[in-house]
Amino acid sequence: MISESDIVHRVLLGFVQIHVLHHAAEGPVYGKWLMAELERHGYRLGPGTLYPLLRQLAESGYLVREERVVGGRVRKYYRATAEGRAVLELARARIQELAGELLGEANAGHREA
């Protein structure tokens, strides 16, 4: 049986992934900046959650990683690939449709029974 908290956790993790893709499609991002940005939106992720997520998105082909030396230290930047941007566009369409249905907006793709 899937608990209520499991469902909420899975949905929020999906939102975080989409949020990461959104920012990485706008330009290169790095972990510490993403943690602060996500926290600004109410998501409190630590490095033990975010960095594996970034690695998984890169291994899946949705992000590409680039290392740069900043202040004498290597910083890993991530950018969305073409595949990552395509997934983001699909997610945006699905989110828009679902939000329309959940919030009762007209023309949200609702079918008559």
Please give the Cα distance from 80 to 64 (Å, whole number): 6
Q: Which two tokens stand for residue 67?
A: 């290392």
Q: Which of 72-76, 93-97, 99-103, 108-112 has the lowest average pLDDT?
A: 108-112
Q: Radius of gyration of the chain from Cα atoms? A: 16
Which pLDDT band holds residue 109 (cuts at 50, 70, 90)? low
Please give the Cα distance from 55 to 78 (Å, whole number): 10
Please give the Cα distance from 78 to 90 (Å, whole number): 20
Q: What is the mean pLDDT of the chain?
A: 90
Please give the Cα distance from 11 to 64 (Å, whole number): 24
Give tens-digit pLDDT for 45-88.
Answer: 899 999 999 999 999 999 999 999 999 999 999 999 999 999 99
Per-residue confidence (pLDDT) for residue 107, from 0 to 100? 54
Q: Which two tokens stand for residue 54?
A: 């970034």
Which pLDDT band holds residue 113 (cuts at 50, 70, 90)? very low
Q: How would CATH label the architecture of 4-103?
A: Orthogonal Bundle (1.10)
Per-residue confidence (pLDDT) for residue 57, from 0 to 100? 97
Per-residue confidence (pLDDT) for residue 27, from 0 to 100? 96
Percentage of the chain with pLDDT > 90? Answer: 67
